[in-house]
Amino acid sequence: MLTSGPCSSENSAVAIVTVSPASVGGTVAGSATVCTGTNSTTLTLSGHTGAITRWESSTSSTFATGVNTIANTTDTLIATGLTATTYYRAVLKSGACSAVNSATATVTVSPESVGGTVAGSTNVCTGASSTTLTLSGHTGAVTGWESSLDNFATAGTSIANTTTSLVVTNITETTYYRAIITSSPCSAANSAVATLTVIPTSVGGSVAGSATVCTGTNSTVLTLSGHTGEITRWESSASSTFASGVTNIANTNDTLTANDKTGTT
């Protein structure tokens, strides 16, 4: 208020001091774990005070390095196509107050599931066998194993085993095995297939052709039948129990000609 001598008092023009509330960063909802490459996550800012001036992202949780500025002034942000774990925050400014950052949201990227390979394929004898199959070269957790009699042309049979090794015992048919690998939240992957080929139990069969011959010059054909397995050799002995004097004969056929015997053999 101003007064000049006897003149009436007058008020000056009004000055306005506008007080802005302090900037508040708020929180970001939408932290998630996604599969690498093809992914989409929506982040939403709430509880903030002030205008959103931009968003920022970084592969550093402290934003110490590699900070990327994102020209988005809305309270939502869609993060897509990530191949590495990435951190996000919004930057807020209320009037003349200093800018602040929101809390950080994290989008964790998981590698794709990789099935790997299974070592241990082998031939086993029917019924009485034990073989260990071992998984390697996979990415993700083992969520189970499967077996199949038709090499997975139809759905396999689940095996409740979440370790990298599987002990198989006493199978009677050729069987195929694989592990199921999941790098969550990515889709599951199957390992390569291991095959346990079942060989039937060896059966000796019988030999026809037993005969009585004259010593010295003689010839008798012996014939094997009713056997299972490959003939690896024949043997002869002067002992009926083959307790001694066993001679190996390099013959893999199912017939053997015994010539010129001079003693019972």
End residue of a domain, out of 110, 136, 163: 110
For residue 16, tell me if it sits in a domain.
no
Please give the model's pTM, rounded to 2 decimal places. Answer: 0.76
Q: What confidence score (pLDDT) does residue 7 get?
A: 66
**CATH number for the domain including 79?**
2.60.40.10
pLDDT confidence of residue 182: 98
User: What is the predicted pLDDT for the residue at 16?
Assistant: 79
Decide if 3 is inside a domain. Answer: no
Cβ pair 68, 57 in contact under 8 A: yes
pLDDT of res. 29: 98
Residues 59 and 126 in one domain: no
Query: 71 and 140 in one domain?
Result: no
Residue 253 lies in a domain: yes
The terminus-to-terminus CA distance of the chain in angstroms comes to 144
- Of 185, 187, 177, whose CA–CA distance to 144 is shortest? 177
Please tell me whether residues 68 and 134 are part of one structural domain. Answer: no
Does residue 106 lie within any of the structural domains? yes
* pLDDT number for residue 166: 98
What is the reported pLDDT for 111? 97
The whole-angstrom separation of Cα 169 and Cα 156 is 18
For residues 95 and 125, state if they share a domain: no
Average pLDDT along the chain, 265 residues, taken 10 residues at a time: 63 73 95 96 97 97 96 98 97 95 98 98 88 98 98 97 97 96 97 95 92 90 92 93 93 93 91
Domain total for the chain?
3
Q: Is 233 within the bounds of a domain?
A: yes
126 and 183 share one domain: yes
Same domain, 47 and 91: yes
Instruction: Specify whether 213 is located in the same domain as 244.
Output: yes
- Residue 7 in any domain: the answer is no
Asked whether residue 48 falls in the same domain as residue 102, the answer is yes
End residue of a domain, out of 153, 168, 199: 199
Report yes or no on 174 lying in a domain.
yes
Which pLDDT value is given to residue 14? 76
Whether residue 88 is contained in a domain is answered as: yes
* Sign of the dihedral through C-alpha 53, 55, 56, 61: positive
Asked whether the beta carbons of 44 and 76 are under 8 A apart, the reply is yes
* Residue 89 and residue 133 in one domain: no
Mark whether 125 and 164 lie in a shared domain: yes
Do 213 and 186 share a structural domain?
no
pLDDT at position 3, please?
60
Domain that holds residue 160: 117-199
